[in-house]
């Protein structure tokens, strides 16, 4: 292997549809092109059989089962044709853990070490409750060389409930060169949400809080894909003023809108280490977000306003503070940008991935 590049297989989604993990995959692939000693391949696990906001269980089981067979077949084919030196598997949990177990078993059969990258923030809850999902995850983690959590709470839960697992916490990353320059606020104020327009992202609470406030001189932009019936239900239930649903946007267009927003809001029920928070930080946008996943570690200490998930009162109060205080917004944005550039740049984080891949491969050989 000394006379050829290190072969790394990413088992991870690639857009479309657009999502945080998919964007991470694209970013890692682009940055790897700067490293001549790496040869990357991808098994694309993006769901093609349903809309991401369609959570009907029967569709997830039947469609997911068919996709599992497809992904596993492609993975086996890659193992036979061009066996990698290390596998890097990302997971969003739930039923995807079944696929993860198959991928990790096959990697072990071919004697290829695997990195298991946990990309969601519910691990402390499911581990504490001992759910079926956690029991399946323990089986998956036991087959991995190293497990990567994104936040300290997930790391602590794994160490407590699966103490034999090798854990290495690595934060998410951002490539500032991909983003437009931050823009100064002009004219009407814009508060922005960017993500899937689904209940678990806290969109309902956001629309309710906005309706309560009715802030003068401000509009709320809700950007991202979602079910038309759900949007109609929100409008009919709350009758908000100055609210715009943009629908799904390309990443470049979404970043231009975010760069011009005066406030970014992410009231999710659960997150891992959300890319959109990193993007808002690099763009110097003040942030209101929930205390889930790695978000408290990202925007604490003056880099954002933290609220409890599913709490309309706290969200309303936080929005009121941020919308009424320009100096507060400016200070939050400056702090957030400085932290993102210092701690979460793609160069720093990718170097840690690369070191881990090399250590896995060296141990295997």
- Least trusted range by pLDDT, from 49-53, 148-152, 336-340: 49-53
Residue 81 CA to residue 282 CA, distance in Å, equals 41
Residue 181: pLDDT band (50, 70, 90) is: confident
How many other C-beta atoms lie within 10 A of the C-beta of residue 167? 17
Tokens of 252: 């470049």
Tokens of 289: 């977000």
Query: Buried b / exposed e across 259-270, counting CB within 10 Å, b at 16+?
Result: bbbbbbbbbbbb
φ, ψ for residue 194, nearest 5 deg? -135, 120
Mean of all residue pLDDT scores within the chain: 92
Residue 190 CA to residue 70 CA, distance in Å, equals 43
| Helix segments in 82-151, DSSP class H | 96-109, 123-129, 132-142
How many other C-beta atoms lie within 10 A of the C-beta of residue 55? 14
CB-based contact 71:99 (threshold 8 Å): yes
Q: Which of 346, 360, 351 is nearest to 89 (CA)?
A: 360
Count the residues in the chain: 365
- pLDDT tens-digit readout, 186-245: 668 999 999 999 999 999 999 999 999 999 999 999 999 999 999 999 999 999 889 999
Q: Is the dihedral of CA 26, 31, 33, 35 positive or negative?
A: negative
The fraction of the chain above a pLDDT of 90, given in percent, is: 82
pLDDT reading at 51 higher than 90: no
pLDDT reading at 55 higher than 60: no
Residue 93 CA to residue 102 CA, distance in Å, equals 14
Class of domain 176-343: alpha beta
pTM of the model: 0.82
Residues near 114 by Cβ (< 8 Å), separated by ≥ 6?
A: 86, 87, 88, 89, 103, 104, 107, 108, 143, 144, 145, 360
Residue 52 CA to residue 186 CA, distance in Å, equals 35
> Matching CATH topology for 6-173+345-364 and 176-343?
yes
51 versus 280: which is more confidently predicted?
280
Residue 55 CA to residue 231 CA, distance in Å, equals 16
Q: What is the CATH number of domain 6-173+345-364?
A: 3.40.50.2000
Per residue, the 3-state secondary structure of 41-75, as one string, reads EEEECCCCCCCCCCCCHHHHHHHHHHHHHHHHHHH
Query: Buried b / exposed e across 196-216, counting CB within 10 Å, b at 16+?
Result: bbbbebbbbbbbbbbbbbebe
Domain spans, the chain: 6-173+345-364, 176-343
Residue 61: pLDDT band (50, 70, 90) is: low
Distance of CA 345 to the CA centre of its chain: 16
Tokens of 137: 């995850």
Residue 66: pLDDT band (50, 70, 90) is: confident
């Amino acid at each position: 292997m000394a006379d050829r590049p290190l072969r790394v297989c990413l088992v991870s989604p690639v857009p479309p549809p657009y999502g945080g993990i998919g964007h991470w995959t694209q970013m890692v692939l682009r940055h790897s092109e700067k490293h001549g000693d790496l040869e990357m391949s991808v098994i694309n696990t993006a769901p093609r059989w349903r809309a991401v906001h369609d959570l009907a269980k029967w569709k997830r089981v039947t469609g997911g089962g068919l996709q599992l067979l497809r992904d596993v077949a492609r993975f086996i084919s890659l193992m036979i044709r061009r066996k990698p030196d290390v596998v890097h598997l990302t997971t969003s949990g739930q039923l995807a853990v079944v696929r993860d177990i198959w991928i990790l078993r096959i990697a072990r059969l071919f004697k290829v070490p695997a990195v298991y990258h946990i990309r969601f923030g519910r691990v402390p809850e499911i581990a504490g409750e001992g759910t079926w999902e956690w029991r399946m995850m323990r089986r998956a983690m036991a087959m991995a060389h190293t497990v990567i959590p994104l936040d300290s709470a997930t790391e602590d839960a794994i160490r407590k409930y699966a103490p034999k697992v090798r854990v290495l916490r690595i934060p998410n990353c951002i490539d500032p060169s991909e983003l437009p320059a931050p823009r100064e606020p002009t004219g009407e104020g814009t508060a922005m949400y960017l993500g899937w327009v689904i209940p678990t992202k806290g969109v309902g609470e956001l629309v309710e809080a906005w309706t309560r406030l009715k802030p003068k001189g401000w509009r709320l932009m809700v950007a991202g894909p979602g079910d038309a019936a759900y949007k109609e239900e929100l409008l009919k239930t709350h009758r908000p003023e100055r609210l715009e649903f943009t629908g799904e946007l390309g990443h470049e267009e979404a970043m231009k809108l975010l760069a011009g927003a005066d406030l970014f809001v992410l009231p999710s029920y659960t997150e891992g280490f959300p890319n959109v928070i990193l993007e808002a930080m690099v763009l110097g946008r003040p942030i209101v977000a929930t205390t889930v996943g790695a978000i408290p570690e990202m925007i604490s200490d003056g880099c954002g306003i933290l609220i409890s998930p599913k709490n309309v009162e706290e969200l309303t109060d936080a929005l009121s503070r941020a919308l009424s205080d320009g100096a507060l917004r400016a200070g939050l944005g400056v702090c957030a940008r400085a932290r993102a550039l210092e701690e979460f740049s793609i160069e720093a984080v990718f170097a840690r991935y690369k070191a881990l891949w090399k250590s896995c491969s060296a141990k295997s050989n």
